[in-house]
Amino acid sequence: MAAARLLPRPLLRTALPSRASPQAFSRSLSQLPKVAAAHMAPVNGFVGAIGNTPLIRLMEPGGSVKDRAALYVVKDAEEKGLIKPGGTVVEGTAGNTGIGLAHVCRSKGYKCVIYMPNTQSQEKIDLLRMLGAEVHPVPAVAFDNPENYNHQARRHAERLDNAVWTNQFDNVANRRAHIETTGPEIWEQTDDGRNLDGFVCATGTGGTLAGVTAFLKEKSQGRVKCWLADPPGSVLHSYIQSGGELMDRQGGSITEGIGQGRVTDNLKPDIEKLDGSVHVPDAESIEMVYRCLDEEGIYIGASSALNVVAAAKMAKALGKGSNVVTILCDGAYRYQNRLFSRKWLQSKELESAIPQHLQKYIILE
């Protein structure tokens, strides 16, 4: 099982990839943590396969961390009676929540309509359409513009009968997904927190960071440190560093699905609980995409690579031997025509960020 082979790798300890040893990949099943064995039991369909992700098993069944939010916002709409059988789920998304929703909708018999900024990768748009979603790529404009993809999604749902706008950014069912699943899974897989000193990840909606932080802070009575990681162009690092005074929006990033211009309702309850934040330039994230592939054999997207860089910085700050957990949000498959294209890297002035010995992975022109 792929997860079994990946489990012993050191992301859990410091999130700092090191050279893979053949031994690490050939441990017998009896040496694996109990949780890996638990995942060998069959699960019930797509919905049953969401959650209980072993720490170094990278993906969710829909291929990203956002499957959890997708399932919870749909369940929330059902519980509140906002959607009935055969109804339509409408969402604004950078793509991954949409892909999770498209899967959940297929398995539950709903239609799925997605609005997304037209800056996102073609791979995500294609996959959404293959999964049966109706996709509207729209110009990327700020949240305060009525043509922002989220507002367009809301208006679309309002025009239909039996339809719900799941509103992942401000619907706290998203945060709850991570309080009830991701947080407890991290806790259990770090020996009830005994092997856990820190948690860090970047935010889009903030659901993952907020939910995990809420859970870990309560469980550890504040002991586990929680940090936010931010790409260029996102305001949250400056907001946290300035004690809520500044919102510096300068720059832009190649990362997708993360970076935020405001404090969402999902992040609001927990932003004060954070112990720090770290800014990660794109050059460091893209280098880590290549390093993870080369040194760990794992093929991750840029937001995941940013998280690994941030986890390494946090582990360094917390001191030798500290264990920091982060999230590998999705795979590079969703971005490979960009991340491994020389032309694209050149257009972003990032070709020189890839060390010489890793340039062999730039296989697309």
Residues of this chain that bind ligand PLP (CB under 6 A):
64-66, 94, 96-97, 202-209, 256-258, 301, 303, 329-330
* Shortest distance (Å) from residue 55 CB to ligand PLP: 17
- Nearer residue to ligand PLP within complex by CB, 49 or 209: 209
Q: How far is the CB of 267 from ligand PLP (least distance, A)?
A: 8
CB nearer to ligand PLP: pick between 69 and 164: 69
Residue nearest to ligand PLP (CB): 257
Nearer to ligand PLP, 116 or 224 (CB): 116
Angstrom distances, CA of residue 111 to CA of 78, 82, 134:
14, 14, 8
Q: Residue written as tokens 């690092």?
A: 237
Least distance CB 270 / ligand PLP (angstroms): 12
Read off the amino acid at residue 337.
N
Contacts of 350 (CB under 8 A, 6+ apart): 254, 282, 283, 286
Among 214, 215, 224, 169, residue whose Cα is nearest residue 194: 224
Phi, psi of 160 (to 5 degrees): -105, 155
Shortest Cβ 255–ligand PLP spacing (Å): 8
CB contact at 8 A, 195 and 323: yes
d(CA 125, CA 116): 9
Nearer to ligand PLP, 8 or 232 (CB): 232
Output the CA–CA distances (angstroms, integers) from residue 37 to 10, 40, 168, 241, 294, in the order listed.
19, 5, 33, 42, 28
Least Å distance between CB 30 and ligand PLP?
34
Q: Which is nearer to ligand PLP, 87 or 199 (CB)?
A: 199
